[in-house]
Each structure stands twice: as C-alpha cells, then as structure tokens.
Amino acid sequence: MNARTTQRLFLAAGFVMLTIAGSMIALTTAARFRAEERPAIDPAYGTAIDHPAPVFTLTDASGEPFSSEELAGEIWVVDFFFTRCQLVCPIMTLNMSRLQRQLDAAGMGEIRLVSISVDPENDTPEVITAFAGRYNADPERWTFLTGDRATIWPLVEEGFQLALDEDPGNTLMPITHSSRFLVVNREGVIVASFDGLTTGSIDALTNYLATLE
C-alpha cells in the first residue's frame, strides 16, 4: 500500500467518524429540543419523564392477546392495579373513571386508557371484566390487561421503571405498587407521571393531555 492510498484511507475514515459524530449530536440536540418543547407540568401533581415505553404482549379482559403495537401512534395513560387491593386501587380506578369522563367531555375521547394487573394469578380475564364493569369502563377506550407474573413484574419494574413488591402480612394491600398514572405520547415515549390518588391531579392530567399533539 503506497503513501497516497494510505492517506486516502485515513481521510475516508476521518470523514466517516465526523459523519457519525455529527449524527449523534443532531439526534441528542433534537431530543433535547423535543423535551424542552413539551408542555409544563404542575409539580404539585406530576413530573416530566423521558424514556421509551416498553413493548409488551398481555391478555385483555376477553382473554385475547393484546400487544402494545395496538397503541402505536396513540396517546395513552397507563396505571397498575389488582382487584384484591382495598387501599389505593379503588381510588386510582375511580380516578381513571373520572379521567375517562373528563376526556369525553373535553372531546378527547380518542386518548386510550390502560390498566395492568400486578396480580395476574388472581386477576383472570373474567375477574377483570367484572372489575372494569363496576367502574363503567368503556372497553373501546379503556383496556384492562392481565397475563402471567413472570412477564408483568419485570415489565412494571424494568419497562415502566416503577416499584413493585409483596407485603403478605398486609391483608388490605398484599402487593405494594405505584399509584402513578403514566402518559405515553404518540412517539411511544413516556413523557409524564401524575399522582393517581387526587381529583386535583386528574384535573391537571386532563389539562396536560389537551396540550399533547
């Protein structure tokens, strides 16, 4: 290999490295701008987040497979519950029902709602169907999901990055889980987390959702 050929190879390699570096800077800058352009969140009720929503396939209330691909391109809100829970879950589900009504009233009925059971051994499709009915869940918009523990627990902890634990001695809430409502935008990014236990937070969440495109 002569000196001229070697020089050309070095120049080509340098060009490739500069191109890759430029692309990485552009992507990082674009991501930062997108985050900066997102609507503000009242810190009394929610916090901004910026990480991809996980991919999953679970089982819906009719016993059929439900894939996160069915939510692609949609804005959706997800929470976690189990039907034996006697503390936070009834409040959270009542507030999700409130959110459903408020979205309807605001003309935002296309926004999807998702509730995932963290107690799938007990929460069969039949059980979650009855549970959903008690809260007047619209099955076209509000999807209740179950599955198997080996799938759901890592999904919650690693995919949605929320705490989850067992507390067998607590008869009112033998599984401890987050009471947050997570917002996923049309790009499949989790962009916000709202308190699921107060009506003020649900009002703030409704207003926030109205600002998303």
Q: pLDDT by residue (tens digit) across 158-197?
A: 999 999 999 999 999 999 999 999 999 999 999 999 999 9
129 sits in which H/E element: helix 125-134
Please, are residues 46 and 201 in contact by the beta-carbon 8 Å criterion?
A: yes
| CA torsion, ordered 166, 171, 172, 173, to nearest 10 deg | 0
pLDDT at residue 22 is higher than 80 = no
85 labelled binding-site residue? yes
Whether the pLDDT of residue 82 is over 80: the answer is yes
Residue 46 · residue 196 · CB < 8 Å: no
Average pLDDT, the chain: 87
> Would you state the pLDDT for residue 39?
77
- The answer to whether 87 and 173 have CB atoms below 8 angstroms apart is yes
**Tokens representing 109?**
């009925």
pLDDT band with cut points at 50, 70 and 90 for residue 18 = very low
What's residue 37's pLDDT? Answer: 63
Residue 67 confidence (pLDDT) above 70: yes
Residue 51 annotated as part of some ligand binding site: no
Average pLDDT over residues 100-124: 97
The pTM assigned to this predicted structure is 0.82
CB distance 157 to 164 below 8 Å: yes
* Confidence (pLDDT) at 40: 86
Mean pLDDT along residues 130-153: 98
**28 pLDDT band (50/70/90 cuts)?**
very low
Mean pLDDT of 66-90: 97
Q: How far apart are alpha carbons 201 and 213 in whole angstroms?
A: 20
d(Cα 168, Cα 85) in Å, to the nearest integer?
Answer: 12
